[in-house]
Amino acid sequence: MSDFGYTEDPNKRYHTWNYALRQQFGGKIFKVPLDGGFDCPNRDGTVAKGGCTFCSVSGSGDMIVAPQDPLPIQFQKEVQMMHKKWPQVDQYIVYFQNFTNTHAPVEVIRHRFEQVVNEKGVVGISIGTRPDCLPDEVVEYLAELNQRYYLWVELGLQTTYENTSTIINRAHDYQTYLDGVAKLRKHNIRVCTHLINGLPGESLDMMRENVRRTILDSDIQGIKLHLLHLMTNTRMLRDYHEGRLQLMTRKNYVNVICDQLEMIPPEIVIHRLTGDAPTDTLVGPMWSLKKWEVLNAIDDEMKRRNSFQGINDVRKAKEVLI
C-alpha cells in the first residue's frame, strides 16, 4: 500500500476501482457488461422523446459484445473474451450497463437480473439507471439484492446545472437526483454518480463545480468522471456543427480531472476517469482513443503537483467553515 492509503499502485494517487475490489474480494474481479433489454424514459415518451443528445442508439452500450443474445449467453461470451487476457480470474460483477435498467415493472426487472446473478462466480451486481426510475417497489428489490450481493447502483446525473440538463434533454432535475440518492442510501445501497466533463456551454469552472456540488449535496460512495464523446448519429452532433459545442483538449481534460480528484474525499471510489468509444463512430476528441495515454497523463500531472485525491476535500473544508 502506498503512502496515500488507498492504492497498491504507486502511480495512482486516487482511490481506484481496482483497489476497492481487491480490498473487498482479495483479487482481480471482472465487471461484465450486459444489455438487459431495457428502454429509457426519455426515449419512449415516459418523460421525453429522443433521449439525451449525447447518447448513441445503443444507449451507451457500444462496447457490449453480444447485446442481442439471451442474458446468460451474453454473460458467457463476455467472460470468455476477458479470459483471453486474464484466464485466472474467476469472480465477476454483472454490470447492467446501457439504457435505464430499472425502467420496467419490478417483476420484469427481477426476472432479468435473476437470470445472471446466480451464474458461477458472480459475487456482485452493478446497475446503471436514472434517478427518476426508482419507485419504492424497485428500491425494495434493490435492497434485497444488496443483502445477497455486493451491489452498486450507478446513477446518471451528468451535470448539476439545470440549463445544461435542458440542453442535453436529460429530462430530470437536480432535486430528483438528490431524492434518488436518499432513497437508495436509506437501505445502505452503494451509489456511484456519473458526471460528464465537456458538455455544451460548461466551462472548466462549471465542471469543477459539478463535482463540488455532488460531493457536498449527496451521500455517494463512488463517482465516474467521463469525457464527453461526440458520436455519429447523435443529436449533439448538430450542436457541434452549429458551434454550440467545443471539444475538450487533452490538456484541459487532464487538468480539470486532477482538480476534481483533489476535491473528492479519499474514501470515495473513483470508478472511472475517462471512457471508451468505438473508433468507427467517434467524431471526437480523437485523442481519447489513446485511453492509457490519457490515464498516464493524469497520473503524471498528479505527481507533478505532488497531489492526491482529497487534498482539497470539499467536505472537510465545509466542516471547517461551519
DSSP letter, residue 90: -
Res 275: pLDDT: 83
Q: Which three cell numbers stand for residue 66?
A: 453480444
Residue in 190, 247, 241, 199 with CA at minimum distance from that of residue 219: 190
Helix, strand, coil % (nearest 5) of the chain?
40, 15, 45
Write the pLDDT tens digit of every residue in 83-141. Answer: 999 999 999 999 999 889 999 999 999 999 999 999 999 999 999 999 999 999 999 99
183 vs 318, higher pLDDT:
183
Q: How far apart are CA 226 and CA 229, in angstroms?
A: 9
Write the pLDDT tens digit of every residue in 281-292. Answer: 999 999 999 999
DSSP letter, residue 89: -
Helices (H), ranges, 12-70: 17-25
Q: Are 160 and 209 in contact (CB under 8 A)?
A: yes
Residue 216 has pLDDT above 50, yes or no: yes
What architecture (CATH level 2) is domain 17-320?
Answer: Alpha-Beta Barrel (3.20)
**Any bridge partners for residue 272, and if so which?**
224
Task: Label residue 67 by pLDDT band (50, 70, 90).
Answer: confident
Write the pLDDT tens digit of every residue in 72-81. Answer: 999 999 999 9
Q: Are 39 and 103 in contact (CB under 8 A)?
A: yes
Average pLDDT over every residue of 212-239: 95
